[in-house]
A and B are shown apart, each in its own frame.
Chain A
Amino acid sequence: MMKSKQIKIALRNCGHIDPERIEDYISCDGYAALGKCIFGDSPASVIDKIKLSGLRGRGGGGFPTGKKWELCAASVSDKKYVICNADEGDPGAFMDRSVLEGDPHSVLEAMAICGYCIGADEGYIYIRAEYPLAIKRLKIAITQAEEAGLLGDRIMGSDLSFKIRLKYGAGAFVCGEETALIRSMEGNRGEPVMKPPYPAQKGYMGKPTNVNNVETFANVAAILNRGAEWFSSIGTEGSKGTKVFALAGKVKNVGLVEVPMGTTLRELIYDIGGGIKSGKQFKAVQSGGPSGGCLTVKHLDTPIDYESLKAAGSMMGSGGMIVMDEDDCMVAVAKFYLDFTVEESCGKCVPCREGNKVLYQILNKITHGNGEMSDLDKLKNFGNIIKSTSLCGLGQTAPNPVLSTLDNFYNEYYDHVVNKKCAAKQCRALIEYRIIEENCVGCGACKRVCPAEAISGELKQKHLIDQETCIKCGACIKKCRFNAIVAE
């Protein structure tokens, strides 16, 4: 069952407490870590604990969280900021939304702890305006925490003050990149800027700023309550703790799961996910969203951690995990993700703005049956140039879905280009609907349902599909009760 191989840390309270009642959170050790920090631990010692735990950024980058806090703490300034990045944008990913809807106080508490550590008295949550319920619950949580004296001025009567406000994102994917996020918060266009200077030196309003993802924050109080050693005993050598994944696609038990680092893809997909739907064959798993890659059967025993996934040609990403079966065309999948990044590119740098468009056009050409062998070399060549010359993470990773499918599913590209065939029968231009004469009884059902009037034939006579007129909608195949129509 779903529970067996999971360990819930970031999701420890999700589904167990009422997110709209601070009392529920406090009764689960809520705000205890914050109290312990303020009244018995120096900022440097708390940072050491986070470093010792081995917690790394859960938004995808994997930068050590303790190190990030330390850098920001070391910056000298009269004003500093803590930002929670809740601009979750990967298609099919909803880890952050679930945490914010199910346990908003865990994020607020961690932000206050971070403020204590780096010397900030103000925090912002940059959240997508498309998450109305999460916003509502965050607002309730902030109000309750302020009333209870656990946020705001003089927390628990101490000298520490920390206020949290919300900023709404308009749903631009690039704003998940920290420098673009900060620009957007300042009221400018959401465009990334060159690093360095890093936000830890010069961030929001030019002041030192620490940006962490929702899930990263959700781990903090648990680490401080249960100890860094406990946290670092979970996971692998380089990746400690757990990771939340939104398991989606052709898997039986779609859902939100949290597994220890080092769990294999096979365990995640088969033991927790229950395997592939309707007895089909597993083909690929896509992790890391539009920045990640597709892994195949030979990668199923890859342990899930930052380094192993990267070595296999994908990445951890923020936690999207889409499972595909034999009916998915990998060229079309690569095209889907590229379509997304082309749409979401901010347009500031040329490689990302123009390069990805060219990649998309080549993929489009291939899926329409006009591909040439030289196109495959171009994809690889251009893809690598875009990766090495783009300004921010969006461009630097956008070609990954193309490059990884080229590596792992070269035969499929070859089939599209040379044989003009799509084995998964997803690329319309490459398939042909044909009537098998032996099976056709001439009932005329297909003819009646065809919207293009492409099927001819008298009643009780063999029917025929005119390939010129056929729009390949597949309506006839669904209608035929005699298995007399095939797609090839």
Chain B
Amino acid sequence: MILNGKEKMERTKNYEEFKHLSSNLKKEKEALSSKVVVKIAMATCSIASGAGPVFALFKEKMSKLPKESVIVQTGCLGLCHSEPTVEVTLPGCEPVVFGKVDVKRAEMIIDGYIMKGEKFDFIIEGNQ
């Protein structure tokens, strides 16, 4: 994760420091492109439709994978008709959004898409 290990951010004392911080964080964000990035919508609507256990499962399983990965909880993408949604970006690939993800589908995403690049019919956006 970005700024891993640091509990608190240091107080920016002047504009130069802020600009420095901003450009550092942008660089760290760019560095994420070499990792598997999993974004799980965790807004009220997503949690109500079951995103909680899905998030927990990704957290648990992904750390055991040989691939470097980052799990991010986000707000909602606006795709209420398909919540819970999970967006996966593999290194060098366009983001792919999976819809109506439950624990079973989450395992399929990890074992199938992330490990082997397999496609599923519950991909709702990107690279179908």
Size of interface on B: residues with Cβ below 8 Å to A: 38
CA–CA, A147 and B80, complex, Å: 34
Q: How far is the CB of A113 from chain B (nearest CB, A)?
A: 15
Secondary structure type dominating chain A contacts: loop
Residue of A nearest to B2 (CB): A23
- Tell me if A11 and B78 are in contact (CB < 8 A): yes
B43 interface residue per 8 A CB criterion: yes
**Distance of B9 from chain A, by nearest CB (Å):** 5
B3 and A23: CB pair below 8 A?
A: yes
Q: A23-B9, A27-B28, A157-B13 are in contact. Are A15 and B78 (CB under 8 A)?
A: yes
Judging by beta carbons under 8 Å apart, are B15 and A157 in contact? yes
B81 touching A252, Cβ below 8 Å: yes
* Cβ–Cβ < 8 Å partners of B26 in chain A: 27
A15 touches B47 (CB 8 A): no
Among residues 33 to 56 in chain A, which have CB atoms less than 8 Å away from a CB atom of chain B?
35, 38-39
Q: What residues of chain A lie closer than 8 Å to B12, measured between beta carbons?
A: 148-150, 156-157
Shortest A26–chain B CB gap in Å is 5
Quick one: CB contact mask for A328-369 with B, threshold 8 Å, 1 for yes? Answer: 000000000000000000000000000000000000000000
* A94–B80 alpha-carbon span in the complex (Å): 11
CB <8 Å contact, A26 and B80: no
CA distance A99 to B75 in the complex (A): 8
Report Cα–Cα, A29/B73, bound state, in Å.
19
Which residues of chain A are within 8 angstroms of B13 by Cβ–Cβ distance?
Answer: 149, 156-157
Q: Which of A35, A98, A134 has the most CB atoms of chain B within a 10 A radius of its CB? A: A98
Known A27-B2, A147-B8, A147-B9: A102·B25 in contact at CB below 8 Å: no
Q: Counting CB contacts under 8 A, is B57 at the interface?
A: no
Chain B's nearest CB lies how many Å from the CB of A335?
Answer: 27
Knowing A27-B2, A27-B28, A35-B19, the reply to whether A14 touches B76 (Cβ < 8 A) is yes
Chain B contacts of A131 at CB under 8 A?
Answer: 44
Provide the bound-state CA to CA distance between A380 and B8, in Å: 61
Q: From known contacts A27-B28, A27-B29, A256-B80, infer whether A18 and B73 are also in contact, taking CB-CB under 8 Å.
A: yes
**A132, closest chain B residue (CB):** B44
- The reply to whether the CB of A449 lies closer than 8 angstroms to some CB of chain B is no
The docked-state distance in angstroms from the alpha carbon of A215 to that of B72 is 24
Task: List 11 contacting pairs A-B, 8 Å CB cutoff, sorted by A.
Answer: A13-B75, A15-B78, A26-B25, A35-B19, A98-B76, A98-B78, A102-B74, A102-B75, A253-B79, A255-B81, A257-B78
Given contacts A2-B78, A258-B78, 17 further A-B contacts (CB under 8 A): A13-B75, A14-B76, A15-B39, A15-B75, A18-B72, A19-B75, A27-B25, A27-B28, A35-B19, A38-B15, A101-B75, A102-B75, A103-B75, A147-B9, A149-B13, A157-B17, A253-B79
Binding site for A on B (CB under 8 A): 2-3, 8-15, 17-19, 21-22, 25-26, 28-29, 39, 41, 43-45, 47, 72-81, 87, 124-125
